[in-house]
Amino acid sequence: MSRHVRAATPSGHELVTGTRHAGRGFPRRWPDIYALGTGAAGLLLAVLDVIWLQHFQAHGPLNGDEAGYLATAASDAQALTGGGPVSLLHALAGQHYGAPFAPLVASFVMSIFGVSAVVGLATLALFAAVLVLATYGVARAVVPSPWAALAAVVTGCMPAVLAFSRDFEFAVPSATVMAVALWALLRSDGLKSPGWAVAFGIAVGVLVLTRTMALAYLPGIGLAALAVVAGRRRPRALLHLATAAVAAAIVAGLWYLPNFRTVGHYLLHFGYGSESTTTGPARSVASWGYWSKELILVGQELGLPLLVALGIGVIWGVVLTVRRARVTITSSWREFVGADVVMLAVVVVEGYLALTSTRNMGSGFGLTWLPAVVVLAVAGLARLPGRWVRYLLAGVSAAACVLSVVAASDVVVALSNPVTVSVPGLGRQPVVDGQAEVDIQLAGSDFPLQPIGQPLAPRNWSNQLRDLTRVLLGASKANQSPVVAAAFDPLFPADSFTWSARAFFGRSITAADLLPGSTQATTASLRTDGAQLLVVTVPKDYRPVGPSPAQLVVAARAAGFVPLAHVRTANANFTVWRRAFRT
Instruction: Give the model's pLDDT for residue 339.
Output: 83
Chain centroid offset of residue 243 CA:
28
Among the residue ranges 37-46, 156-165, 402-411, the one predicted with the least confidence is 402-411
The helix (run of H) or strand (run of E) holding residue 510 is strand 510-514
Decide which of 173 and 409 is more confident: 173
Residue 358 above 80 pLDDT? yes
Kind of pairing between the strands at 510-514 and 427-432 = unpaired
Mean pLDDT of 265-272: 64
Give the span between the Cα atoms of 404 and 401, in whole angstroms: 5
Specify the pLDDT at position 287. 85
| Average pLDDT of span 266-284 | 61
| The pLDDT value given to residue 361 | 79
What is the distance in angstroms between the CA of the first residue and the CA of the last residue of the chain? 78
Q: For residue 166, give the nearest of 295, 311, 58 by alpha carbon.
A: 58
* Closest by Cα among 371, 337, 359 to 130: 371
Output the pLDDT for position 17. 44
Least confident of 136-150, 162-176, 413-427, 437-451: 437-451
pLDDT in tens, 457-510: 677 888 999 999 999 998 887 667 788 888 888 889 889 999 999 999 989 888
pLDDT digits 0-9 by tens, 429-446: 999 887 777 777 787 788
Q: What is the pLDDT of residue 165?
A: 93
What pLDDT is stored for residue 12 in this prediction?
42
The proportion of the chain whose per-residue pLDDT surpasses 90, expressed as a percent, equals 52
Mean pLDDT (whole number) for 351-358: 91
Delimit the domains of the chain by residue range.
37-273+298-413, 461-579
Fold of 461-579: D-Maltodextrin-Binding Protein; domain 2 (3.40.190)
350 CB contacts (<8 Å, ≥6 apart)?
217, 219, 220, 223
Beta-carbon contacts of 208 under 8 Å, excluding residues fewer than 6 positions away, are: 99, 214, 215, 218, 252, 256
Q: What is the mean pLDDT of the chain?
A: 85
Task: Please tell me the predicted confidence (pLDDT) of residue 270.
Answer: 64
pLDDT higher at 83 or 251: 251
Q: How many CB atoms lie within 10 A of CB 222?
A: 17
Q: In what helix (H) or strand (E) does residue 427 lie, and over which residues does it extend?
A: strand 427-432
This prediction has a pTM of 0.89
Q: Is the pLDDT of residue 222 over 90?
A: yes
Report pLDDT digits (tens) over 530-565. Answer: 888 999 999 988 888 778 888 899 999 999 999 999
Strand residues in 39-84 grouped as ranges (E): none
pLDDT in tens, 131-150: 999 999 999 999 999 999 99
Looking at residue 521, what is its pLDDT? 86
Nearest to 235 by CA among 201, 185, 188, 200: 188
Q: Is the pLDDT of residue 268 over 80?
A: no
Per-residue confidence (pLDDT) for residue 522, from 0 to 100: 87
* Percentage of the residues of the chain whose pLDDT score is greater than 70: 88
> Highest-confidence range of 124-138, 274-288, 434-448, by mean pLDDT?
124-138
pLDDT of residue 15: 53
Q: Poorest-confidence range of 31-40, 255-264, 398-407, 435-444?
A: 435-444
Neighbours of 66 (CB within 10 A): 25
Identify the sign of the CA torsion 468, 470, 471, 476.
Answer: positive
pLDDT value, residue 3: 37
Strand partners, 280: none
Q: What confidence score (pLDDT) does residue 265 get?
A: 67
Residue 515 confidence (pLDDT) = 79
Greater pLDDT, 11 or 281: 281
How far lies 537's CA from each of 460, 470, 568, in Å? 17, 16, 10
Instruction: Specify the pLDDT at position 449.
Output: 75
Closest by Cα among 250, 566, 499, 208 to 368: 208
Alpha carbon of residue 84 to chain centroid: 29
Q: Where are the alpha helices (DSSP H) in 332-443?
A: 333-337, 340-356, 370-381, 387-408, 413-416, 437-443
Strands 561-568 and 572-579: antiparallel
* Predicted pLDDT of residue 415: 78
